Chains A and B, each alone.
Chain A
Amino acid sequence: MPPQIVRLVLLTIVIVCLYFTARHFFVPQSFGKYGHYRGAAIEEIRAREPLWAGRKECETCHSEVVEKLAKADHQGISCETCHSPARGHVEDPDVVKLPKMNAAMCARCHEASPSRPKWLHQITVADHYPGSCTECHTPHQPKL
């Protein structure tokens, strides 16, 4: 075997061995569990703490409000849509209170626009009434 070839073959073997050693050490353990990715990633992504509590959580304590809502137009809306994230309040109801509601919230959904679908009750706030919406409407039973 010519000496050049011998040297080169040896060098190649060393490099390939180094590569496979590195692979053995550095490829994460859970890689390939479900596919070409770290299986542990699924658990890591799951581990985040949820923020919005969800309507079911509110029903536990505020069932009478939810019952009243169930008969009205706003029945499908989650409580937190208007009342902001309630996770803190659910965990410690006496200490963590939710911020007060304000009438600007109503215009967010109900300001009239040609882009909005016809089934939605829409008003041009400026033309409808100069004062606050809650002077006439109760948010939980908005129909007059």
Chain B
Amino acid sequence: MTDTNMITNLVEAVPQFSGYAYPNERTLHPLWSALIVVYPYVTGLVAGAFIMASLVRVLKVKALEPIYRLALLTALAFMLCATLPLLCHLGHPERCFEIMLTPHFSSPMAMFGFVYAWYLMAVLLLELWFDYRRDFVEWSRTEKGLRGLIYRAFTLGVTDLSEPALRLDAKMGRFISIVGIPSAFLLHGYVGFIFGSIKANPWWGNVLMPIIFILSAVVSGMALCVFAYLFLCWTRRVVADMQCLDLMVRFLFYALVLDASIEGLDWLHKLYSAEEGIETMKYLATSKLFYTLLIGQACLGTLVPLVLLGAMQLGGRGVAELNRRRIYFTCTALILTGVLLMRWNVVIGGQLFSKSLRGFMTYKMEFAGPEGWWLPALLLVLPFAILTVLIKYFLARELPTIENVVPGATPPGRA
């Protein structure tokens, strides 16, 4: 019997922990709280949505053309909010600029400032600009007032719409997409590396962590694109393009299979090699994280969508389009929740046991107060609000379908 088994008798009469926890671990709230759960979730959605968009430009998957702009705008909406959870969590947010001025290059967190700035400016905004440039020029001529001013500002003063210019736009868009894929992996992979590099914590410190983060990010981002597309079609009372939708879901399914395999491999390896701390981690997974990990992330967030979407891949033709859309909607909602729970299980789960491997901590999550869950909830809702505004300004009334979409053509006018 290993000495690092969890201790069942309560030695010290304090509610915050059972067994033994180092005195500095006995805090009321985990150090990296729900805000740090939201941050990787948001950047993961950004990376995943961008990958979906680059399937169109890089792999030239024509059938996905209708959701190209929606995917990019989704990525942008979430990217704009990505720093907020971090800023709210810092002990000294007013010193946040230090991470850009004196980055400590041995720290994975130090690359945040540059990776974020690079991805936002050199990848996302630039690709959007090259795709929208022609529309900005045309809209700036037709729109009046504030809207017209915004469009004119976004043209950056470049009004050349000649054939060579448009060809250059398309070429640049493709080039940035290609550069953007490793950038997206870096944007989210470094977060996985932050956790994977912490050898002090066996729940976090392993080599598969960055891979698992990236893969679940791709899954969540793709699921968000499908979800947003279905939702948008529903609000605009437009029939979704089934060819596009089926193809999106097929890519989502492949990504989900890959993600589930790697996460399964991680657990298989942990259980097989049974290193020190395995008893603690088994207890964590089966007791403290039973609902969020086994039920929420594994069953509802992974297995159920795998089975349903897998069935759709095999016999989807036989299912009526309406039912297929309902299944897609349900599965993507489950996946999105499951990936959020995965972030929760990683971040909070890693802080639920003592580094002495002898005890477990208990935290209470309140709604109100500086540590309350109102703030992470707000920061999760905010990107959707921003996306609504972006769609209003930048995505035409009628979503383009595969029949009438041609890259660079004048979009249907706003109704």
Contacts and interface: CB of A to CB of B under 8 A. Distances in A.
In the complex, A touching B (Cβ < 8 A):
yes
Given A2-B164, A4-B133, A4-B168, A26 B101 contact: yes
Interface residues of B, number: 18
B131 interface: no
A11 B156 contact: yes
A2 B158 CA distance: 10
B333 to A, nearest CB: 39
Contact of B158 (A7, A15, A26): A7
Contacts of B130: 4
Contacts of A36: 102, 104
A31 B158 CA distance: 43
A3 B158 CA distance: 6
A42 interface: no
Nearest to B165: A2
Interface in A2-37: 2-5, 7-8, 11, 15, 19, 22-23, 26-27, 31, 36
Nearest to B97: A26
Interface string B195-212: 000000000000000000
B104 A7 contact: no
A2 to B, nearest CB: 5
Interface range, A side: 10 to 19
B257 to A, nearest CB: 39
A23 B101 CA distance: 6
B169 A4 contact: yes
B156 A22 contact: no
A59 to B, nearest CB: 35
A114 to B, nearest CB: 16
B276 interface: no
Nearest to B156: A7
A81 B104 CA distance: 42
Interface string B254-297: 00000000000000000000000000000000000000000000
B126 interface: yes
Contacts, number: 35
Contacts of B121: 15
Contacts of B165: 2-4
B102 A2 contact: no
Contacts of A8: 126, 156
Nearest to B157: A7
B97 to A, nearest CB: 7
Given A3-B158, A26-B97, A31 B126 contact: no
Nearest to A31: B102
Interface in B98-144: 100-102, 104, 121, 126, 130, 133
Contacts of A11: 156
B398 interface: no
Interface in A106-142: none
B160 interface: yes
A60 to B, nearest CB: 37
B158 A4 contact: yes
A63 to B, nearest CB: 39
A11 B129 CA distance: 14
Contacts of B156: 4, 7-8, 11
Interface in B324-342: none
Interface string B221-248: 0000000000000000000000000000
A3 B121 CA distance: 19
Nearest to A36: B104
Nearest to A4: B158
A18 B314 CA distance: 56
Contacts of B104: 36
A113 to B, nearest CB: 15
Contacts of A22: 97, 101
A19 B117 CA distance: 12
A5 B176 CA distance: 13
A12 B104 CA distance: 24
B157 to A, nearest CB: 6
Contact of B102 (A4, A7, A27): A27
Contacts of A2: 160, 164-165, 168
Interface of A: 2-5, 7-8, 11, 15, 19, 22-23, 26-27, 31, 36
List 4 tightest A-B contacts by C-beta distance, closest first.
A3-B158, A7-B156, A3-B160, A4-B158
12 contacts: A2-B165, A2-B168, A3-B160, A4-B130, A4-B169, A8-B126, A8-B156, A23-B101, A26-B97, A26-B101, A27-B102, A36-B104
Interface of B: 97, 100-102, 104, 121, 126, 130, 133, 156-158, 160, 164-165, 168-169, 172
Given A2-B164, A8-B156, 11 more contacts: A2-B168, A3-B165, A4-B160, A4-B165, A7-B156, A8-B126, A11-B156, A23-B101, A27-B101, A27-B102, A31-B102
